[in-house]
Amino acid sequence: MEIEAKYRHAENTADTATIASLSWREFFTDTCLQALIEQGLQRNTDLQIARLKVEEAEAVLMNTRLSYLPALSLSPEADVGRYVGNTSKTYRIAVSASWELDIFGKNTNARRGASAALDGSRDYVQAVQTRLIATIADSYYTLLMLDRQFNIGKQTLESWGKSIRTLEALKRAGKANDAAVLQACANRIALESSILALRKSIADTENSLTALLALPSQHIARGTLLETTLPESVSVGIPVQLLANRPDVRQAERNLAQAFYATNAARAAFYPNISLSGMLGWTNNSGGSILNPGHWLLNAIGSLTQPLFNKGTNIANLKIAEARQEEAKLQFRQSLLDAGKGVNDALVKCQTSKRQIELGERQITTLHEAVRKTELLMHHSSSTYLEVLTAQQSL
């Protein structure tokens, strides 16, 4: 699948030093946010579960590696009997060993599949960690935005109060009517309702963030939106390299490798099992010397087991493994497409937001100029204070 030109809205570049190569500490420089991310990496429940899955995969891999070694067992026995006045004592100690020869690669494919599963679980940990950091940062900046909106709302509320008092004075002077005063009061009430909604949104966001950190609901220490600094430009680099760094793509690749080795192991089940077993021990009957060579026991057996008919289990297992391998192949392909779509969406959102900020700054500058000129017109009796209030409310 061609992935070299999957970014529609990014500038072409061969620079490998991209935003993906930055650590989260380099990207997020806010000390309050860094402290929250550190707490999340230590306490988040999903991340801890993902780390335990790595330990499980490590244990499975260790088990598959030990399958190459022979199995050993120790069987001590002691019998004491009495017959016609004679006491018979028998002691026996035997050490047995069995070893399955991995000629057809069943154990090898199991080990490789377990190794791929371990790598996949590690990639899953990184994917969970990446999503966790992104979610914490998103919630944090949402709080900063809500704080800013809340403060602006309170300032606007004070401005509306001043406007209402001015309109009431104008009404007493006969230059305004009740409708204008009532409309201003209604607007102030609507603003108070919006401020309450903002307060609730702040509390909800704080509660969601503390739950993410596995903490009880509490106030989140944070800075201000005006103090926030982020990189002004985003370099995505070479698409294939950026996608290779994504843990979700790597995890899908590991799943495909695991399915491939599972299919090979299912094929190996059609071949015979060859095993060697043996037993070495000694026995001492009726008080004889333990070291008497005549009492040493030795047994060695070689066996070959060829499956002939097991109710179609091997055939069914192979078909299942092949189907799962094809599923993993399709999922890996789709993960590449989804990753490319995610990058494209992020680039469009970043570029659109940057343009919207520029337009918003121009709009604020224009509104400031409109307020200034309206005030000048009022000073020259070419405008009324109501027009000044209207211009200020637009700002």
What are the domain boundaries of the chain? 1-21+229-271+316-395
What is the CATH number that goes with domain 1-21+229-271+316-395? Answer: 1.20.1600.10
Mean pLDDT is lowest, of 174-178, 299-303, 360-364, for 299-303
pLDDT of residue 184: 83
Mean pLDDT is lowest, of 84-93, 99-108, 136-145, 146-155, for 84-93
Torsion, CA 165, CA 170, CA 176, CA 179, rounded to 10:
20
Mean pLDDT is lowest, of 155-169, 304-318, 323-337, 343-357, for 304-318
Mean pLDDT of 31-45: 93
Say whether pLDDT at 25 is over 90. no
User: For the chain, how far is it from start to end, CA to CA, in angstroms?
Assistant: 51
pLDDT, greater one: 159 or 297: 159
pLDDT of residue 291: 46
Mean pLDDT is lowest, of 71-85, 279-293, 313-327, for 279-293
pLDDT of residue 356: 85
Pairing of strands 296-305, 273-285: antiparallel
Mean pLDDT of 117-127: 91
Q: Which of 93, 70, 21 is nearest to 242 (CA)?
A: 21
Mean pLDDT is lowest, of 39-48, 137-146, 168-177, 384-393, for 384-393
Mean pLDDT is lowest, of 102-106, 145-149, 279-283, for 279-283
Helices (H), the chain: 24-27, 31-43, 45-66, 106-172, 178-212, 239-244, 247-268, 313-379, 385-394
Mean pLDDT of 175-186: 82
Say whether pLDDT at 124 is over 80. yes
Say whether pLDDT at 61 is over 80. yes
pLDDT, greater one: 121 or 173: 121
Rounded Cα distance, 271 and 265, in Å:
10
Q: How many CB atoms lie within 10 A of CB 225?
A: 15
pLDDT of residue 292: 47
Query: Which residues does 106 contact at the CB level (< 8 Å), separation at least 6?
Result: 265, 268, 269, 271
pLDDT of residue 125: 92
Mean pLDDT is lowest, of 65-79, 247-261, 331-345, for 65-79
Query: pTM for the full model?
Result: 0.77
Mean pLDDT of 181-206: 91
Cβ-contact 277, 97 below 8 angstroms? yes
Mean pLDDT of 243-260: 87
